[in-house]
Amino acid sequence: MPVNRILFVFFWMICLGQPVLAKTELPSEDEILKTTNVALKYLKESDFEKSLIVSRVALQQALMAKNNNLIAVSYNIIATNYNEFSEFDKAIFYYKKALSFANKTTNNVLKNRINNNLGNVYCFEKKLYKKGIEYYIKSLEYSKKEKDTALVYLINLNITWAYFDIDEFKLAQPYFDYIKEHHKERSNESTIVVFNMLNGMYYSHIKDNAKAHSYFIEAIRRGITGAEKSDLLYSYIEYSMFLDKIGDHKNAYKYIIKHNEINEKIYNEEKLKKAERAGFNLELDEYKRQIGKIEIEKRLQDQSLKKSRIIVLLFILTSCIFLILIVTLYKNVIFKKKSNAKLLFANEELIKAKEQAEEASVLKTQFISTISHELRTPLYGVVGITNMLLEEHKELARSQHLSSLKFSARYLLSLVNDILQINKIEENKIVLESWTFNMSDEINMIKNSLSFLSQKNNNQITVIIDPDIPEYLIGDKLRFSQVLMNLVSNALKFTKNGEVNIIANLVEVIGKANFIEFQIKDTGMGIAVIDQDKIFEKFVQVGRNEEDYQGTGLGLTIVKRLLGLFGSTISLESNIGKGTIFTFTIVFEHDLEKTKSIINEIQVDLTCNQMFKVLVVEDNLINQIVTKKIIEKNNYSCTVVDDGYAALEILDIEDFDVVLMDINMPMMNGFETTRKIRLKGIKTPIVALTAFDKDEITDEAISAGINDIIIKPFESVKLFKIINCLIVETKNVG
């Protein structure tokens, strides 16, 4: 193995030389370093599972503190864990993540160590010597900047070894000359074996067999007396190859045997260390199973003795019953023949009815999907052009006609989304997810987002949260927020000059399960008793004869269906003129360890102000105008083409940073266009800009090579955040 390969991970002390961050409410540098120390301790003890868990916590803290130095250190520890149990592809991935953050710092020692680690993995594990040597050379440059002579010698040694392994002795010459020149003052016990072995390889190459033999023997002697036996293995192999080359096949075989003996010993020692704990547990489990089997056999024998006493009686009784059954069965067979004929006919009718129902369900889904797409496409144009008019002609900002147009488009879009949502629930296409979230943050975010509606009707929103509720819970926060949003907006809509309360109380804790009761109370117009059973039905709107309250009539239906997915029900108390109280209970999990495992990585905001080139592939003329206007308004360069063929042609002659791809296009759709782009070897990020529902096209989009999906109409902030992240990620990987 390469010299001191694993040693390079333990360099957290480097961070102490960097400027200390100003103290904030975020984790301090000392706190993060303490967490890093624990991860390193577990790594030294080969407890990789605990080391990974703790190093990921350190990574979260470093990301929150935006400390690139410590982020790189955390990633490097994670990579070394994977390297230790031979997950080399994962190790390379996390080493590169570490390097991307290290490159944002001025810490040359940190950059040097990570580059060297990558060189080791590529050269001596993946056998990709060219790529590995590139990382070694980068590491060497940083070592020279820091004037770290010991490291300069070590990296020259590794580069020489890599070049010798691929018979590139001319390319290795300057590095080989350096280690020979500085050997006396900079070599140590961990490098002396490799130094002598490399000399043996070199003199074997130039056919100076006497010197080659002398150096190989010295390398083997040093390896036998030294503590590190892996380099002795390499010396045996290289010396055996040299002996075979000069015709001494007998001794060549002899040293192969010695290599195998040492290799087997090392392998068995490592294997025993890794298997010791697991083997003990397996043996204990096997012992328990054997005891269990003996106890079960004993119980069975006891039961058998008891049962044997009544077997004779049961046999006689069974014989009598059997005779009676034969007579009865004979009569039943005749009867069943007649009944089966009728059942077969009825089954055929049921199968036909089932097939018709399934066909109707598919047609319903296709119809809803098609209608939603056909409505969203023009709505994108209406909303986009309305926004353009309001931005370009400030004098129209108070126009009632333009405001009505924008409101109507938004209202129609809300109707389409509600219909799609209720259809997904009815077809069991929604599966609850597990996310870590802060209950207080979610509720206050909903309160803030509905502030405009509360001001419109002169209402006040009050939030009351039980302090016993844990800070972090695990559950589907998106569906929970949707339930709360519908109920609170409904309360605000039917309340004027009043108050809406959002109350959350912890009512019971069983293990890790927290039962939280929520109440949405308002002082509004109330619901008559006769109408209370109707309000959860689709498209029902109570009270519209008195005042025209806008809405689809699907909000409470969606609430009831979503709560069903949570395993909960909703109840209400209401009287005309006295307000309404909606009550429901949801069980959320509280588990700190699971929370840490769910949050593996915190998304880092990679947006920037750099000018990027955007290609828009869109066949609808109005949508072309709207999309191009949005992009150019944000200082991006935008080129528009009408179809997939035009996109392929322009990508052959011009480079773009991102492609916004419509899906439903004539001649060649967005999926097929993307596949042809990927077949050309073009790695440019592609974002689907479509009116289709995201769940309908996700699988096909991924298989075609599309990087992300944005549904029209969209928020421009979300669009630019996504394309900026994709562009920066692609440039970093490249």
What is the per-residue pLDDT across 619-629, written as a single tens digit (0 to 9) for each? Answer: 888 888 888 88
- Higher per-residue confidence, 600 vs 65: 65
Q: Are residues 441 and 334 in the same domain?
A: no
CATH number at residue 644: 3.40.50.2300
Q: Are residues 592 and 624 in the same domain?
A: no
Q: Are residues 394 and 440 in the same domain?
A: no
Greatest mean pLDDT among 490-499, 523-532, 669-678 = 669-678
Q: What is the pLDDT of residue 276?
A: 42
Domain final position from 130, 156, 187: 187
pLDDT digits (tens, 9 = 90+) for 321-352: 877 888 887 778 787 777 777 777 767 777 77
CATH number at residue 483: 3.30.565.10
Domain final position from 187, 216, 232: 187
């010695």: which residue's tokens?
258
pLDDT at 62 over 50: yes
Residue 584 parent element (H or E): strand 579-589
- Where is average pLDDT lowest: 246-260, 397-411, 455-469, 485-499? 397-411
Q: Are residues 442 and 417 in the same domain?
A: no
pLDDT digits (tens, 9 = 90+) for 125-134: 888 988 989 9
Q: What is the largest CA-CA distance in the chain?
A: 108
Q: Percent of the chain beyond pLDDT 90?
A: 18
Q: Are residues 416 and 450 in the same domain?
A: no
Range 418-444 average pLDDT: 72
Q: Are residues 588 and 527 in the same domain?
A: yes
Range 286-298 average pLDDT: 53
Q: What is the pLDDT of residue 719?
A: 84
pLDDT at 689 over 80: yes
pLDDT at 248 over 60: yes
Nearest to 2, CA basis, from 105, 84, 117 = 117
- Pairing outcome for strands 686-690 and 637-641: unpaired
- Higher per-residue confidence, 696 vs 725: 725
Euclidean distance between CA atoms 253 and 265, whole angstroms: 19
In this prediction, residue 482 has a pLDDT band, given cuts at 50, 70 and 90, of confident
Q: Does some domain include residue 505?
A: yes
Listing DSSP states for 52-70 in one string gives HHHHHHHHHHHHHHT-HHH
Residue type present at position 486: N
Q: Are residues 524 and 617 in the same domain?
A: no
Q: Are residues 374 and 471 in the same domain?
A: no
Six-digit token string for 637: 């360069």
- Looking at residue 525, the DSSP 8-state letter turns out to be S
Q: Are residues 418 and 443 in the same domain?
A: no
- Higher per-residue confidence, 527 vs 358: 527
Range 374-386 average pLDDT: 63
Domain final position from 429, 460, 485: 429
In this prediction, residue 7 has a pLDDT band, given cuts at 50, 70 and 90, of very low
Q: What is the pLDDT of residue 335?
A: 79
For the chain, how are helix, strand and coil distributed in percent, rounded to 5?
65, 10, 25
Euclidean distance between CA atoms 347 and 471, whole angstroms: 56
Q: Does some domain include residue 293?
A: no
Q: Does some domain include residue 606?
A: no
Q: Does some domain include residue 247?
A: no
Please state the domain count of the chain: 4
Q: Does some domain include residue 689?
A: yes
Q: What is the pLDDT of residue 603?
A: 47
Q: Does some domain include residue 205?
A: no
Euclidean distance between CA atoms 165 and 199, whole angstroms: 13
Q: Which domain holds residue 56?
A: 6-187
Q: Does some domain include residue 381?
A: yes
Greatest mean pLDDT among 78-92, 303-317, 503-517 = 503-517
pLDDT at 252 over 70: yes
pLDDT at 706 over 70: yes
CA distances from 280 to 46, 193, 283, 290, 333 (A): 17, 37, 5, 15, 61
Euclidean distance between CA atoms 502 and 274, whole angstroms: 54
> For residue 274, what are the contacts with CB-CB under 8 A and spacing of at least 6?
46
Q: What is the pLDDT of residue 616?
A: 94
pLDDT at 353 over 80: no
Range 223-250 average pLDDT: 84
Q: What is the pLDDT of residue 527?
A: 85
- Where is average pLDDT lowest: 156-160, 386-390, 550-554? 550-554
Q: What is the pLDDT of residue 548?
A: 45
Report whether 459 contacts 498 (CB < 8 A): yes
Question: Taking phi first (over 0 means left), then psi (-120 to 50 degrees means alpha), and beta for anything else, what does residue 484 get?
Answer: alpha
- Higher per-residue confidence, 436 vs 274: 436
pLDDT at 587 over 60: yes
Average pLDDT of every residue of the chain = 78
In this prediction, residue 442 has a pLDDT band, given cuts at 50, 70 and 90, of confident
Within 10 A of 77 (CB to CB), how many other CB atoms are there? 25
Q: Are residues 466 and 575 in the same domain?
A: yes
Q: Are residues 569 and 649 in the same domain?
A: no
Phi, psi of 613 (to 5 degrees): -100, 125
Coil, strand or helix: which one is 197? helix
pTM above 0.75, yes or no: no
Q: What is the pLDDT of residue 286?
A: 39
Q: Are residues 415 and 523 in the same domain?
A: no
Q: Does some domain include residue 228?
A: no
Range 161-169 average pLDDT: 89
Nearest to 3, CA basis, from 199, 151, 203 = 151
Six-digit token string for 337: 């023949």
- Higher per-residue confidence, 449 vs 201: 201
Within 10 A of 415 (CB to CB), how many other CB atoms are there? 16
CA distances from 733 to 93, 103, 683 (A): 10, 13, 11
CATH number at residue 66: 1.25.40.10
In this prediction, residue 580 has a pLDDT band, given cuts at 50, 70 and 90, of very high
Greatest mean pLDDT among 220-234, 325-339, 453-467 = 453-467
> For residue 52, what are the contacts with CB-CB under 8 A and spacing of at least 6?
78, 81
- Where is average pLDDT lowest: 3-7, 92-96, 243-247, 283-287? 283-287
Euclidean distance between CA atoms 303 and 63, whole angstroms: 64
